[in-house]
Amino acid sequence: MQNNPSSQTLPAHDTGVLGTLKRVGRWLVMTQEGVLLLIIIAICIFLSSRSPVFMTGRNIGVLLSVVSMTAISAYGMTMLMISGEVDLSVGSLQAVVGVVVMLILNSTHNLALGIVVGLAIGAVVGLVNAAATLGLGINSLIVTLAMLNILRGLGYLITQAAVQNFHKLPSFARLGNGFLAKQGQGVLGFIPLPVVYMIVIFIVIWLVMARTTFGRYVYAVGGNPRAAALSGIRTKLIKTVAFVVMGVLGAVSGIILLSRMNSGQNNAGFGFELQVVAAALLGGTGLGGGAGSLVGTLLAVLLLAILNNGIILLGIHSNWQMIMNGALILLAIFLDARRRHAAGLE
């Protein structure tokens, strides 16, 4: 008996342009990152039709500069939450770093020294949070909530008012307000420096999390701490490094904010921690640890910033920003609970 040739025809593999389009389509509708991207595109189209200001170069530049501060801190928060911990002190850290760095700049006129001291403050705060959480066995939510109040109080003790800029260093102003090139010198003249920092730090953290042993250990420690410890991973060390990275990146965002405000304000960063946690959660990082995506976090930061920007441009009362951010946090927690239940983790 001869076989029917048509019966021997195997389904063709998805190759070429068509296959690529199918894979992209599946990614867009079946992953949290893809869904976030679709939502961002839809909102951008809507805002463009409603406000002529939205797509202007100035608005986009300001929007991305604001995004950079949240994104840089959110990278650290993503790493820390993947390890199974959280840090609510980042907003108050911004205030303390800003006040101290401005005082140092006013007295020394040394930008490098000010930046080093600011980053050191962030590292020390991260170490203290780690010591209290891991050494004393206290939940990191409680520890960092206490640190939030301690740092905020220190900011008010250091200065009862804003520390003004008396040093007038041009390099300091350019730090948070400058561009990659002089304006008028092509496309680079429209790219804000904070956006460059955001991209460079993203690449570094992504490489660490995706391509190094340390990154794999962070996921392992957050996913199953006991199994990770039994396999020889130094879980406390991994979490300590994550806390320190969170502190340092929080300080970086604080220095950028300081440059943009041109004064060290003891009330800076108020509520900032909620924006950062919301971005990590909405981007797919789980509260229980062991899961998270830097790409998702960056897209979530963009989504939150675009929504806030849209509220302003459309003339909606600013109080709706807080309501919206709170609602998105609840939505992110709900989605995380659904994911964990579907994965059999609850």
pLDDT in the model for residue 38: 92
Q: What number of residues does the chain have?
A: 346
Average the pLDDT over 113-141 and give the result.
Answer: 97
- Return d(Cα 30, Cα 232) in angstroms, integer: 35
Q: Count of H helices and E strands in the chain?
A: 14, 2
Supply the angle between the helices 193-211 and 213-223 in degrees, to the nearest 10. Answer: 80
Mean pLDDT of all residues in the chain? 89
Q: Mean pLDDT, to the nearest integer, of 325-342? A: 78
pLDDT bucket at 136, cuts 50 / 70 / 90: very high
Of 202, 100, 215, the closest CA to residue 158 belongs to 100
Task: Pick 234 or 324 by higher pLDDT.
Answer: 234
- Number of C-beta neighbours around residue 164 at 10 A: 13
Q: For residue range 14-33, what is the model confidence (pLDDT) as tens digits?
A: 567 887 888 888 878 778 88
Instruction: List pLDDT tens digits, range 248-282.
Output: 999 999 999 999 999 999 999 998 998 999 999 99
**Global pTM?**
0.90
Q: Which residue has the tokens 């959280």?
A: 86
Q: What is the pLDDT of residue 57?
A: 84
The neighbouring-strand residues paired with 221 are none
CA distance 281 to 294: 11
Better-scored residue on pLDDT, 63 or 30 = 63
Which pLDDT band holds residue 332 (cuts at 50, 70, 90)? confident
pLDDT tops 80 at residue 4: no
* pLDDT exceeds 70 at position 100: yes
In terms of Cβ atoms closer than 10 Å to its own Cβ (0-12, 13-18, 19+), residue 13 is exposed
Assess contact for 216 and 222: CB atoms under 8 A.
no
| CA distances in angstroms from 100 to 81, 130, 249, listed in the order given | 28, 22, 16
**Which band of pLDDT confidence, cut at 50, 70 and 90, is reported for residue 112?**
very high
Distance CA 162, CA 155 (A): 10
| Structure tokens given for 235 | 């879980």
pLDDT score for 345: 57
CATH 1.10.3470 corresponds to the domain 57-301: yes
Residue 270: strand, helix, or coil: coil
What per-residue confidence (pLDDT) applies to 61?
A: 87
Q: Are 130 and 243 in contact (CB under 8 A)?
A: yes
Closest to 261 measured CA to CA, from 191, 193, 163:
163
**pLDDT at res. 14:** 55
Q: What is the pLDDT of residue 196?
A: 95
- C-alpha to C-alpha distance for 59 and 293, rounded to whole angstroms: 28
- pLDDT by residue (tens digit) across 211-248? 999 999 999 999 999 999 999 999 999 999 999 999 99
Q: How far is CA 60 from the centre of its chain?
A: 19
> Which pLDDT value is given to residue 2?
43
- 108 has a pLDDT exceeding 80: yes
Looking at 18-22, 41-45, 163-167, which range is the least confident one?
18-22
Return the domain boundaries, the chain: 57-301
Residue with structure tokens 């060290």?
Answer: 264
